[in-house]
């Protein structure tokens, strides 16, 4: 289902055949669909719009919404706040650069506020409304699914020579390294 991206302040939806059909996306659409964006949030400021397909973050292909936050968090932990995204919009691929800080990443997003976010105003907007108004319980935040995926993602897309020992304790607890 839809997931809130803390990195982008946006509601992201995994893309499958049904989603491609419903939202009239390109047949080969790859990545995650931006359902809505928080007014004044990161995506909104960078010009990422509802209806855009987020294809890559930091040069890595995005397969599911959690990939976005995992990649951004990895950059933040490495001390970088400049992020690069590649966004497919109407047949064109647009490179988007964003500055994302730990503060903005860690800001809490209340599920209740999502219904007021900007969705696509095109004729397909009823599909968006339908997803955004889903029972808020169905919308997960990245923390909920993060624990499960962080480990698998790290092992999956780091090169074989990466030192895995520091990844292990790295994700064990975030609270301590907050200044």
CATH number of residue 111's parent domain: 2.30.42.10
Position 164 scores a pLDDT of 46
pLDDT value, residue 150: 47
Residue 175 domain-assigned (yes or no): no
Tell me if 173 is assigned to some domain.
no
pTM: 0.71
Residues of the chain below pLDDT 50: 135, 147-162, 164-165, 167-169, 171-172
| Span 40-86, pLDDT tens digits | 999 999 999 999 999 999 999 999 999 999 999 999 999 999 999 99
Quick check: is 177 in a domain? no
CA-CA distance, 60 to 121, in Å (whole number)? 29
The DSSP string of 68-137 is: HHHHHHHHHHTT--EEEEEEEETTEEEEEEEE--HHHHHS---GGGGGGSEE--STTHHHHHHHHTS-GG
| Residue-range definition of the domain harbouring residue 56 | 3-154
Distance CA 70, CA 66 (A): 6
Whether residue 179 lies inside any domain: the answer is no
Residue 74 domain-assigned?
yes
Question: Considering the domain boundaries, does residue 178 fall inside one?
Answer: no
* Other CB atoms within 10 Å distance of the CB of residue 127: 17
Residue 127 located in a structural domain: yes
Task: Give the number of other Cβ atoms within 10 Å of residue 120's Cβ.
Answer: 21
Total domains present in the chain:
1
Is 166 a member of any domain?
no
Q: What is the pLDDT of residue 121?
A: 60
């Amino acid at each position: 289902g839809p997931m809130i991206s803390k990195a982008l302040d946006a509601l992201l939806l995994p893309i499958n055949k049904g989603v491609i059909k419903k939202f009239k996306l390109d047949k080969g659409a790859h990545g995650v669909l931006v359902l809505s964006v928080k007014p004044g949030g990161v995506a909104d400021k960078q010009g990422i719009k509802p209806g855009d397909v987020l294809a890559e973050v930091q040069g890595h292909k995005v397969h599911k919404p959690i990939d976005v936050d995992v990649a951004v968090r990895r950059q933040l932990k490495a001390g970088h706040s400049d992020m690069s995204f590649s966004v497919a919009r109407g047949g064109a691929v647009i490179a988007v650069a964003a500055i994302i800080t730990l503060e903005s990443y860690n800001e809490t997003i209340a599920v209740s506020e999502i219904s007021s976010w900007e969705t696509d105003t095109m004729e397909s907007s009823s599909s968006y409304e339908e997803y955004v108004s889903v029972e808020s319980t169905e919308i997960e935040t990245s923390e909920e699914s993060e624990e499960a995926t962080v480990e698998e993602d790290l092992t999956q897309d780091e090169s074989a020579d990466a030192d895995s020992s520091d990844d292990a304790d790295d994700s064990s607890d975030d609270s301590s390294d907050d200044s």
